[in-house]
Each structure stands twice: as structure tokens, then as C-alpha cells.
């Protein structure tokens, strides 16, 4: 197991629980979605989160979405392509009402970084 001391210093803060804020909850009051993006195993976990939210918490099936680099094929192969992140967000129709959460074991997955940068460009949270 790797300690957060081995990770870039900004990831040490990421291991602390995140507090809710009006900026994070406001999109949901406007019918926004929670979108998880990831590559490899973290992406698989994000898809699993999205699939389980509707039956477990009663959310609308389209309210929580999981994107994994490479789509369904990536569930059996490894992908990590920055350009596909923008294409996937375009296909999803990402808006400023959506909240995007990047999931990356290394903190350096090109797909996740590109998705977060594109999210910021579109003024989503």
C-alpha cells in the first residue's frame, strides 16, 4: 500500500473527506448529473458507482453516469486516451449543470486529466 506521502502533495488533501458546498449541490437542483470519469480499474469503479446509484439510492438512471476510457471495450482491455475524454463528454452533452468527478489511482491518467480540464472549460463543477 502506498502512502499519500509518495503522491504529489496536492493529492494528500484529496484523501480527506470532501465537504458539500452550495457550488457542488446547486447543479442537482437544476437537474444536473453526477458524472464519474476514469481509466482502467478506477474507471470500472466509477461505472459500478453509476450503475448502483439508481437501485440503491433511488436516483434517476440518467442522473449518475459513469464514463470509462474506451467504453465497454475497456472493461476487458486497457485504455487511457486524453482525446477520447472530450469526445465522451461531447457525446454525453455535458453542461454547466453537471458535476464531474475524476477517478485516478495514479493521479496522472491522461483521460481523467483531459476530462477535468474540459469540465472546467465548460464551466461545469
What domains appear along the chain, each with residue ranges and CATH number?
Answer: 29-121 (3.40.50.10490)
Cβ(110)–Cβ(11) below 8 Å: no
Contacts of 15 (CB under 8 A, 6+ apart): 4
pLDDT band at 82 (very low <50, low <70, confident <90, very high): confident
Q: Is 90 exceeded by the pLDDT of residue 32? A: no
Task: Tell me what pLDDT residue 65 has.
Answer: 92
Residue with cell 476514469: 38
- Cα separation, 38 vs 61, in Å, equals 19
| Mean pLDDT rounded to a whole number for the chain | 77
Among 32-41, 71-80, 103-112, name the one with the lowest average pLDDT. 71-80
The terminus-to-terminus CA distance of the chain in angstroms comes to 31
Residues catalogued as catalytic: 52, 79
Amino acid at each position: 500500500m502506498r502512502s499519500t506521502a509518495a503522491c504529489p502533495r496536492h493529492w494528500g488533501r484529496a484523501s480527506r473527506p470532501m465537504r458539500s458546498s452550495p457550488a457542488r449541490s446547486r447543479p442537482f437542483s437544476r437537474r444536473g448529473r453526477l458524472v464519474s470519469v476514469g481509466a482502467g480499474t478506477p474507471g470500472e469503479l466509477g461505472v459500478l458507482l453509476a450503475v448502483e446509484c439508481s437501485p440503491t439510492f433511488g436516483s434517476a438512471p440518467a442522473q449518475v453516469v459513469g464514463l470509462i476510457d474506451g467504453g465497454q471495450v475497456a472493461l476487458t482491455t486497457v485504455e487511457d486516451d486524453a482525446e477520447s475524454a472530450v469526445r465522451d463528454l461531447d457525446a454525453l452533452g455535458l453542461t454547466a449543470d453537471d458535476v464531474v468527478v475524476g477517478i485516478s489511482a495514479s493521479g496522472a491518467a491522461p483521460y481523467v486529466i483531459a476530462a477535468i480540464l474540459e469540465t472546467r472549460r465548460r464551466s461545469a463543477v
